[in-house]
Structure 1
């Protein structure tokens, strides 16, 4: 078992768990999370979400971003200055479509989340541009999703 600094198990889901989790996705979530798609700008359901809480991976439930790191980037996608825990988000070089950028994936289940760019505000200077379809929002005080039955909490 590999634990992040914040105490979350980063062990990937078993093959049977992955099949079960993927079966619960709608078509748009499947296209974005599993096939590295991008939702249309200004259409995601979490773009204007302002409550205090945490954004978790839609597939495996790992906490990825906090509301207090979210900012209005004007790009049409939820944007964050940094993850809950640096070990929870993995960056992969992405040179598709003639661009040089870094794709962000969930460190536990390897699902596509979005991209990170070096044009964000302080303190990090980063802009994690994330698809709403890749995330579940959990308000403060609510239990985190636990689709893998690991009993994790912040």
Structure 2
């Protein structure tokens, strides 16, 4: 079992998070496509883990993938996220988790042909994130 800088009991997470946030962040659920708070936002700023505040993605790496969820071509730093092999739903995917608290964020895909510097698409649930708009 992996240990994280921020560890809470299941009861503590349930108390802190809404039922919808808990289902995605702590149970690796997925919000429905096209309904997330940040799917189409263009606001400049930093996206943090909704569960612990760890800064994860910059609006500078956000792009329109038209997949129904916010997409980024890279995290702020590789040590901010953790990668887990996910074989649920009958396929092999790479799950992305917050490296600080272990919360589920979404999945990362590569080789899809998007015109991004990394050819990666971090497909992240809006409900897993909290946007801190840039000052100025």
TM-score w.r.t. structure 2 length?
0.89
Moved over 6 A (4+): none
Deviations 1:57-110 (A, max 9, x none): 000000000001001111100000000111101110101111111000000000
Pick from 115, 119, 128 the counterpart of residue 125 of structure 1.
Answer: 119
Q: Which has the higher strand share?
A: 2
Deviations 1:125-145 (A, max 9, x none): 100000001000000129xxx
Q: Shift of residue 21 of structure 1?
A: 5.2
Q: Where does residue 72 of structure 2 map in the other structure?
A: 80
Unpaired runs of 5+ residues, structure 1, are 1-10, 143-154
- Contact preservation (8 Å) 2:58, 2:75: yes
Distance 1:13 1:22 in 2: 15
Is the deviation greater in 22-31 or in 62-71? 22-31
Give the direction of change, closer, same or farther, for the CA distance of 1:15–1:45 in structure 2 (3 Å limit): closer
- Contact preservation (8 Å) 2:7, 2:101: no
Q: Provide the aligned C-alpha RMSD in A.
A: 1.9
Is the deviation greater in 108-117 or in 44-53? 44-53
Secondary structure of residue in 2 paired with 1:31: helix
Unpaired runs of 5+ residues, structure 2, are none
Distance 2:71 2:116 in 1: 13
Give the direction of change, closer, same or farther, for the CA distance of 1:95–1:14 in structure 2 (3 Å limit): closer
TM-score w.r.t. structure 1 length?
0.79
Give the direction of change, closer, same or farther, for the CA distance of 1:39–1:15 in structure 2 (3 Å limit): closer
Give 1:3-152 correspondences, 5 Å limit: 12-15=5-8, 20=12, 22-118=14-110, 119=112, 120-141=114-135
